Amino acid sequence: MNLFNLRRSTPSLDDLAADNFLPSRSDNLSSECLMPSVERPKQIFVRGQGSWLWDSDDRAYLDFSQGGGANSLGHSPSVLVNAITAQAQSLINPGFGLHNRGMLNLAERLCVSTGSDQAYLLNSGSEACEAAIKLARKWGQLHRGGASRIIVAKKGCHGRSLGTIPASDSSTLTNRFEPQLPGFSHVPFNDLAALHAAVDARTVAIMLEPIQNEAGVIPATELYLKGVERLCRELGILLIFDEVQTGVGRLGTLLAEQSYGVRADIVVLGKGLGGGVPLAALLARGKACCFDIGELMGTHHGNALMTAAGLAVLDSVQDKGFLEHVRETGQHLREGLARLTHRYGHGEVRGQGLLWGLTLSEDSADAVVKAAMYEGLLLDAPQADCLRFTPALTVSKANIDEMLLRLARAFSRVRTAQLQCRKGIAV
């Protein structure tokens, strides 16, 4: 089957304005019983392979979101399918209170690969970030006179649990779930002086994303992260890197800290670690290793099925030439996006490896995402003026070129709609 022949026919501008996204003709399933969460298109997706997804009407979509980067090896890669299938046939979850081979193997692989001393396996990035907060506060009780305050960056995102909302710049959520967990100070990102000024006797740690994902793919500068590391060492406080988005090869290195030449005391992994299976990890080094028995628990933490997936992902990412492929295709994607943004008068392209953000000339990201879906392209928009690209780490240059063609058509469609609106033409 030639996937390039499956491009959708061009819809009218009336369709774009009305958000009439061709609901499935063959599925009668309803979302009425789902609690509200996020706005989802009407299509129901039934299968995927690599960089492609198909809906229940057998329409093909090129996926450059991949679950926000969770599907690190793409949809249903054979290495992951085979590992999960084999594991499910022998053991899925022996119980949290018992060892299994996958749990022990994955913890050891993560420690050896990242130069960490201890690892703990969880289900999600939010859980792992919350565990990092607990670990830092436990360390503060033991080694810093009970200090518990953690400095975080404005516009950062470390999760949506009650424990991580106050650590994130979640201005739309903070007033809905009061009272908040106290103990966080927010300072501007990439501002070392502001960070230094915020440290006091109550400070136990600094927690940062090397690249702010939800803020619109905003990278830390190398000077900033090295300055933060030096500050933590001089003041005797912990450095926590939230690498839920940037870890496991996304930037062309196993961890983002390697590309910056810095080293944290605590590292959080998630998203791509499981390749689409719920899996996250908390890594601790040296003095930060201070949890005792009974302080971390979870029914599915480190279960055999999840860890089989994690080991399969690590095997792939650490295979010879894999990270070089990420760097090469990432450069190809960056260059293509730069050409498009110049052609259509948009803003800058930010990111590294296969994590990129493209700022738009106005708040039209939602319209572009919808127009792209008409063209059979799946994207997401973390901000009203920014598109985000998190394709599979296995994406090909041909897939990238096809994506750029579809994105160009989406840009043209939105621009035409905007021009007609400005001329007073109903669309």
366-416 pLDDT, tens digit per residue, is 999 999 999 999 999 999 999 999 999 999 999 999 999 999 999 999 988
Q: Quote the pLDDT of residue 17.
A: 43
Spatial neighbors of 9 by CB under 8 A, at least 6 apart, are: none
Strand partners, 120: 282
The two tokens of residue 8 are 């959708």
Q: Specify whether the CB–CB gap between 86 and 318 falls below 8 A.
A: no
Q: Quote the pLDDT of residue 37.
A: 76
* Percentage of residues in the chain having pLDDT higher than 90: 82
Q: Quote the pLDDT of residue 48.
A: 97
Radius of gyration in angstroms for the set of CA atoms belonging to the chain, rounded to a whole number: 22
Q: Specify whether the CB–CB gap between 411 and 71 falls below 8 A.
A: no
Distance CA 132, CA 85 (A): 32
**What confidence tier does 18 reach under pLDDT thresholds 50, 70, 90?**
very low
Which residue in the block uniquely carries the two structure tokens 């792939």?
316
Distance CA 76, CA 57 (A): 19
Quick one: DSSP state of residue 75? B
Query: Mean pLDDT across the stretch 216-230?
Result: 97
56-99 pLDDT, tens digit per residue, is 999 999 999 999 999 999 999 999 999 999 999 999 999 999 99
Nearest to 255 by CA among 238, 267, 239: 267
Nearest to 289 by CA among 400, 136, 165: 136
Nearest to 123 by CA among 310, 380, 392: 310
The two tokens of residue 174 are 């903070």
Other C-beta atoms within 10 Å of 207: how many? Answer: 25
Spatial neighbors of 423 by CB under 8 A, at least 6 apart, are: none
20-46 pLDDT, tens digit per residue, is 455 555 667 877 888 887 788 888 999
